């Protein structure tokens, strides 16, 4: 029986490539979906080129893949990937690099995985791929031509039933089934591809946002696994969750349909853009359903790794909608959130725990009621924001704002909230609402000395809601 090898491939430089897509949303969308399709199509095309069963496909997604091959086909696989790598580099103007390594299926999976990791580390630091001659066959395409191709891919996927690949252009993925090999977008893997595709048609006045989410300590979760079968099962579990749930939630919830576009869904993360208020709803729903996934499928796995998710939402400034810049900013904020507080949501300049999101939303509704129902001036929101600015410095930037004089908050709120003459009953309602707002900001205990971070989130949320007329 032939010795088998595991071949692990990975795309490097994905984020710099996406960040450099300029202001055109179609180009960023096309680039993102091209990267997603490469990780799906290349290992499948490799197996077909070598006349091997699709069942040898291990894991795909998140810009990487794992396949099983007969050892005697290692050289053929290297040639295949070297040619694809050359064209990928050309199409991305040198931003992206495909690297891969392989090792024999000998010993426990923990040892095999370690050899693969060491091999990828060595390749990652190498100045170039082994077959440098492969790059000479491809001249770098003009940037404008490549951008138009990405935009065409994004548009074509809206109506496509299949995607195709050809050995004559191994770095390209095209819509339709005319290529050398093709895969249905409507058939389940391994014969077809499961991609999360949904585009929004938003009016120009809509304030856009980008939402990114990432499973906490996913790599550590995979390193805990002791068998390749379990590695494949868990990897597919996460990937199928994001690809499937994004589609289902966006299509089924009326506040999301037509208002959110999926940029990508990977092995442990996702990115979407659309109307900022719809993205908050989506974030909450994804976190809720992810909790159900953990409860039903991951409870038997020891340790907290991979059992929580962190997200970050960035909203475009008024009159601006540079999607690539928003995507880059959301990536930075996601990393910031994960270094400070896992299992959290970065929203309107603050990282809050998921259980605090409901408090922020309730306070936001109370603040907007003061304007909508009691005719208070929206200026009071700016006044309240001043308390957070007063308490912010290098020592307090990462924790709740110090607030040693709670009575100042009461006095300032009473000064700026001057509604017109109200009836006695309405006055009581107004007073109760004001007291509720104060309690949400500084707590109900007399000794409370910190403004809650949910208050800042609620202020920004209320201002955006009022501007949008919601």
pLDDT value at residue 20: 80
In whole numbers, what is the pLDDT of the chain averaged over residues? 84
Q: Mean pLDDT across the stretch 407-422?
A: 62
What confidence score (pLDDT) does residue 238 get? 93
Contacts 24+ apart (CB under 8 A), 101-108: 101/7, 101/8, 102/5, 102/6, 102/7, 102/8, 102/69, 102/74, 102/77, 103/5, 103/6, 104/3, 104/4, 104/5, 104/71, 105/3, 105/4, 105/5, 105/6, 105/68, 106/3, 108/226
Best mean pLDDT range from 39-48, 124-133, 409-418: 39-48
Comparing 50-59, 146-155, 277-286, 426-435, the range with the smallest average pLDDT is 426-435
pLDDT of residue 470: 57
pLDDT-based confidence at residue 376 (cuts at 50, 70, 90)? confident
Domain with CATH 3.30.70.2220 in the chain: 4-148
CATH number for region 208-347: 3.30.70.270
Separation CA 90–CA 88 (nearest Å)? 5
77 pLDDT above the threshold of 70? yes
More reliable by pLDDT, 198 or 345: 345
Structure confidence at residue 276 (pLDDT): 94
Arch. (CATH architecture) of 4-148: 2-Layer Sandwich (3.30)
Could you give the 3-state DSSP secondary structure of residue 407? helix
Q: What is the predicted pLDDT for the residue at 423?
A: 62
Where residue 212 falls among pLDDT bands split at 50, 70, 90? very high
Q: How far is CA 26 from the centre of its chain?
A: 18
Min mean pLDDT across 108-112, 416-420, 452-456 is at 416-420
The per-residue pLDDT for range 359-375, each reduced to its tens digit, is: 899 989 988 888 888 77
Per-residue pLDDT tens over the stretch 302-357: 889 999 999 999 999 887 778 889 999 999 999 999 988 889 999 998 899 999 99
Lowest mean pLDDT among 9-13, 32-36, 108-112, 257-261: 257-261
Q: What is the reported pLDDT for 129?
A: 47
Lookup result for tokens 């999926």: 262
Residue 56 and residue 68 in contact, taking contact as beta carbons nearer than 8 Å: yes
Classify 343 as helix, strand or coil: coil
Residue whose token pair is 């709740």: 400
**Predicted pLDDT at 96:** 93
- State the span(s) of the chain assigned CATH 3.30.70.270: 208-347
pLDDT at 158 exceeding the cut of 90? no
Q: Could you report the per-residue pLDDT of 390-412, keeping only the tens digit for each?
A: 544 444 444 444 445 555 666 66
At 410 the pLDDT is 64
Residue 301 — very low, low, confident or very high, per pLDDT cuts 50/70/90?
confident
**Interval 420-437 mean pLDDT:** 73
Is the pLDDT assigned to residue 246 strictly greater than 80? yes
- Residue 232 confidence (pLDDT): 93
In this predicted structure, the answer to whether residue 193 has a pLDDT above a threshold of 80 is yes
Mean pLDDT of 198-223: 86
Where is mean pLDDT largest: 86-90, 125-129, 401-405, 436-440?
86-90
Report pLDDT for 255: 86
pTM of the prediction?
0.87
Question: 69 pLDDT exceeds 90?
Answer: yes
């Amino acid at each position: 029986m032939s010795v088998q090898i595991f071949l692990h491939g990975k795309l490097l430089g994905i984020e710099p490539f996406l960040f450099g897509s300029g202001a055109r949303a179609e180009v960023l969308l096309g680039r993102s979906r091209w990267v997603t399709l490469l990780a799906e199509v290349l290992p499948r095309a490799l197996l077909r080129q070598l006349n091997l069963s699709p069942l040898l496909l291990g894991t795909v997604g998140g810009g990487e893949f794992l396949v099983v091959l007969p050892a005697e086909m290692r050289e053929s696989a290297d040639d295949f990937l070297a040619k694809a790598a050359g064209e990928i580099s050309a199409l991305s103007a040198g931003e992206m690099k495909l690297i891969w390594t392989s090792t024999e299926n000998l010993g426990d999976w923990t040892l095999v995985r370690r050899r693969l990791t060491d091999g990828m580390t060595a390749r990652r630091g190498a100045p170039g791929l082994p077959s440098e001659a492969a790059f000479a066959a491809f001249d770098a395409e003009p940037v404008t031509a490549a951008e138009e191709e990405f935009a065409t891919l994004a548009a074509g996927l809206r109506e496509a039933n299949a995607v195709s690949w050809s050995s004559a252009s191994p770095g390209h993925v095209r819509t339709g089934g005319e290529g050398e090999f093709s895969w249905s977008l409507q058939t389940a893997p391994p014969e077809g591809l499961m991609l999360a595709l949904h585009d929004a048609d938003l009016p120009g006045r809509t304030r856009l946002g980008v939402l990114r989410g990432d499973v906490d300590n996913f790599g550590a979760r995979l390193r805990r696994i002791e068998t390749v079968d379990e590695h494949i099962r868990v990897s597919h579990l996460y990937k199928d969750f994001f690809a499937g749930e994004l589609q289902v939630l966006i299509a089924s919830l009326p506040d999301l349909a037509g208002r959110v576009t999926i940029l990508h869904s990977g092995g442990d993360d996702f990115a979407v853009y659309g109307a900022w208020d719809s993205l908050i709803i989506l974030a909450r729903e994804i976190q809720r359903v992810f909790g159900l996934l953990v409860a039903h499928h991951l409870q038997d796995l020891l340790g907290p790794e991979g059992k929580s998710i962190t997200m970050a939402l960035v909203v475009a400034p008024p009159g601006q909608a540079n999607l690539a810049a928003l995507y880059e900013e959301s990536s930075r904020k996601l990393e910031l959130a994960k270094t400070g507080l896992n299992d959290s949501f970065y929203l309107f300049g603050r990282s809050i725990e998921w259980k605090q999101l409901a408090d922020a939303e309730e306070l936001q509704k109370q603040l907007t009621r003061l304007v909508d129902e009691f005719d208070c001036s929206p200026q009071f929101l700016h006044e309240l924001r001043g308390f957070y600015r007063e308490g912010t410095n290098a020592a307090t930037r990462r924790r709740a704002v110090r607030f040693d004089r709670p009575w100042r908050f009461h006095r300032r709120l009473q000064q700026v909230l001057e509604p017109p003459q109200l009836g006695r009953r309405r006055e009581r309602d107004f007073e109760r609402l004001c007291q509720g707002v104060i309690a949400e900001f500084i707590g109900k205990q007399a000794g409370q000395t910190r403004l809650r971070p949910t208050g800042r989130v609620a202020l920004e949320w209320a201002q955006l809601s009022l501007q949008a007329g919601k």
